[in-house]
Structure 1
Amino acid sequence: MSSNTEADDPIRIAFMCVQNAGRSQMSTAFAERERERRGLEDRVEILTGGTHPADHVHDEVVDVMDEAGFDLSDRTPREITLDELRSCDYVATMGCSTLDVGDVGEAVDVRDWALEDPDSQDLERVRETRDEIERRVKDLFDEMCVLDPNDYSGEA
């Protein structure tokens, strides 16, 4: 369950992996779109980062996300700190992290999505990972549904 107790506090979600150059970038893009679709821009904050960020988003990730209508070519992987993660309600790791509840505290809902690293994979495999990420992000938003459905129209 969410650690937020104040109705006015935004829900904070982080998507993290080692390089912040593939899975976490795809997750962030889908989460940003889902937040907008549900009209939750003022209710949900999205963070992303890695423990050892790469220099750029993986080329194959940029390509398959472009197919899905996202331009990730201008995104830069960044480091994420434990303090940032501790400030979150939900943290989704991508299957490459040693992060556990002890690192961030019991108030943070940590989930390991155990997704295949898209780096140097053929485009079909990266598309499969992309599509799985999209499903998981939608499921996360459905689960955390921070507002009563009557409180928002789903329109941006």
Structure 2
Amino acid sequence: MDHIEGEPCQDIEDCRLTDRHVQTLLNREADELARHFTGTFSPETVRDCVEDSYTHLAATARIRTHLPVLAARFARQRLEATAKNQGATMSDEPEVLFVCVHNAGRSQMAAALLDHHAAGRVTVRSAGSAPADTINPAVIEAMNEIGLDLTKEFPKPLTTEAVQAADVVITMGCGDACPIFPGKRYLDWQLDDPAGKDVDQVRPIRDEIDRRVRTLLDELVPSNA
């Protein structure tokens, strides 16, 4: 069955790479990414990850215009996590993964807030157990009010390598979707879901996330450290 451009895929098989232009763009992104990971991953491994990332993002994307670029960004995060898991890279920075169902509201706000407050002292990622196609517009507006731009962010699927690479995994209503690995710190933040809420209703959720993020940051990277 041919997939209609601009419609979300109902079957992941419909999202196979059949468009020559898309494949050209993906190859270009993969070549650039392969140069970044020279000595860590082969070009073939990088290309496979980029194409796999595209397929997963295309399964929910309504608009495909910038999808090859987003797939490359997602692939880079996955490869960085894999490199860490394999011991190919070493970092003293703690890594935090925020997970909610759609990665369109709570986890995106938490990741942006922690990244902002940490100022490079913490590696921050977010994901969804069933990612949406776009970020909640009311969430984007609420975050923009405090100077944080989420317009370039996008919902990402939860991957095993992301959980395995994290030191702290914070769930926000995703149930048992997160794989459990020994040695990780797991937290579950009970927060209202901003889905269907207007910006006035999202602000208190944002502020509560900000409070929790600041407390977490003080635990991970004490100010006197």
- For Structure 1 versus Structure 2, the TM-score category normalised by the shorter chain is 0.7 to 0.9
Q: Bigger shift: 8-17 or 58-67?
A: 8-17
Structure 2 gaps, min length 5: 1-89
* Cα deviation digits, residues 64-99 of structure 1 (max 9, x gap): 111111111121111121221122110111123324
Matches of 2:209 and 2:103 in 1, distance apart? 14
**Number of the residue aligned with 1:110:** 186
**Number of the residue aligned with 1:21:** 104
| Structure with more strand by fraction | 1
Q: Bigger shift: 111-120 or 77-86?
A: 77-86
**1:110 aligns to what SS in structure 2?**
strand
Matches of 2:153 and 2:223 in 1, distance apart? 33
**Number of the residue aligned with 1:48:** 126
Structure 2 residue 115 is matched with structure 1 residue 32 = yes
Residue-pair matches, total: 136
**Residue of structure 2 aligned with 1:9, choices 85, 92, 95:** 92
Deviation of residue 148 (structure 1)?
7.0
Contact 2:101 2:173 in 1 (8 A): no
Deviation of residue 144 (structure 1)?
1.6
Contact 1:95 1:116 in 2 (8 A): no
Matches of 1:74 and 1:148 in 2, distance apart? 30
Matches of 1:87 and 1:53 in 2, distance apart? 20
Q: Bigger shift: 81-90 or 127-136?
A: 81-90
Deviation of residue 8 (structure 1)?
4.5
**2:104 aligns to what SS in structure 1?**
coil
Structure 2 residue 173 is matched with structure 1 residue 95 = yes
Structure 1 gaps, min length 5: 1-6, 152-156
Q: Bigger shift: 77-86 or 58-67?
A: 77-86
Percent identity of equivalent pairs:
37
Give TM-score, length-normalised by structure 2: 0.56
Matches of 2:154 and 2:211 in 1, distance apart? 24
**1:104 aligns to what SS in structure 2?**
coil
Larger Rg: 2
Matches of 2:223 and 2:112 in 1, distance apart? 24
**2:170 aligns to what SS in structure 1?**
strand
Structure 2 residue 147 is matched with structure 1 residue 69 = yes
1:73–1:51 CA distance, 2 compared to 1 (3 A): same
Matches of 1:138 and 1:95 in 2, distance apart? 20
Q: Which runs of 4+ in 1 moved over 3 A?
A: none
Higher RCO (C-alpha under 8 Å, 6+ residues apart) = 1
Contact 2:129 2:177 in 1 (8 A): no
